[in-house]
Amino acid sequence: MLDAHTRSGGTAPASPRATATELAVTATAAGAVPAGAAAVRLGLAGRCARLLLSPWARFSVLVSLLVGAAAAVLLFEPQRLLAHGWPPQLGGAAAVVVFAVAYGLITVAFVPRPLLNLAAGALFGSELGIAAAVGGSVIGAGIAFGLGRFLGQDALRPLLRGTFLNTVDRQFSRHGFRSMLAVRLFPGVPFWAANYCAAVSRMGWLPFLLATALGSLPNTAAYVVAGARASTPTSPVFLIAMAAIAIPALAGAVVAWRKRHHLRG
Report pLDDT digits (tens) over 208-248: 999 999 999 999 999 999 999 998 999 999 999 999 999 88
**pLDDT band with cut points at 50, 70 and 90 for residue 29:** very low
Q: Compute CA distances 52 → 60, 61, 151, whole Å.
A: 10, 10, 11
Question: Contact, 226 vs 129, CB < 8 A?
Answer: no
Please, what is the average pLDDT of the chain?
79
- Cβ contacts of residue 118 below 8 Å, gap of 6+? 83, 223, 224, 226, 227, 230
3-state secondary structure at position 57 = helix
Report pLDDT digits (tens) over 49-62: 565 567 778 888 88
State residue 17's pLDDT score: 44
Residue 6 lies in a domain: no
Residue 20 lies in a domain: no
Q: What proportion of the chain, given as a percentage, has pLDDT over 70? A: 70
Calculate helix-pair angle for 163-174, 191-200, nearest 10 degrees. Answer: 80
Range of the domain at 88: 57-264
Burial of 121 (0-12, 13-18, 19+ CB in 10 A): buried
Domain count, the chain: 1
Buried b (16+ CB within 10 A) or exposed e, 34-46: eeeeeeeeeeeee
What is the residue type of 51? L
Residue 80 has pLDDT above 50, yes or no: yes
Alpha helices in 77-152 (DSSP H): 78-84, 92-108, 113-147
**More confident: 213 or 159:** 213
Residue 246 lies in a domain: yes
Lowest mean pLDDT among 45-49, 84-88, 213-217, 257-261: 45-49
Residue 19 lies in a domain: no
**pLDDT band with cut points at 50, 70 and 90 for residue 127:** very high
**Highest mean pLDDT (candidates 92-106, 127-141, 161-175):** 127-141
Question: Contact, 99 vs 82, CB < 8 A?
Answer: yes
Ramachandran quadrant class, 9 (left: phi over 0; alpha: psi -120 to 50; beta: rest):
left
State residue 82's pLDDT score: 64
Residue 11 lies in a domain: no
| DSSP character at residue 158 | G
Report pLDDT digits (tens) over 175-210: 889 999 999 988 778 899 899 989 888 899 999 999
Residue 2 lies in a domain: no
Residue 99 lies in a domain: yes
Residue 154 lies in a domain: yes
Report pLDDT digits (tens) over 112-124: 899 999 999 988 9
Rounded to an integer, the average pLDDT of 27-51 is 57
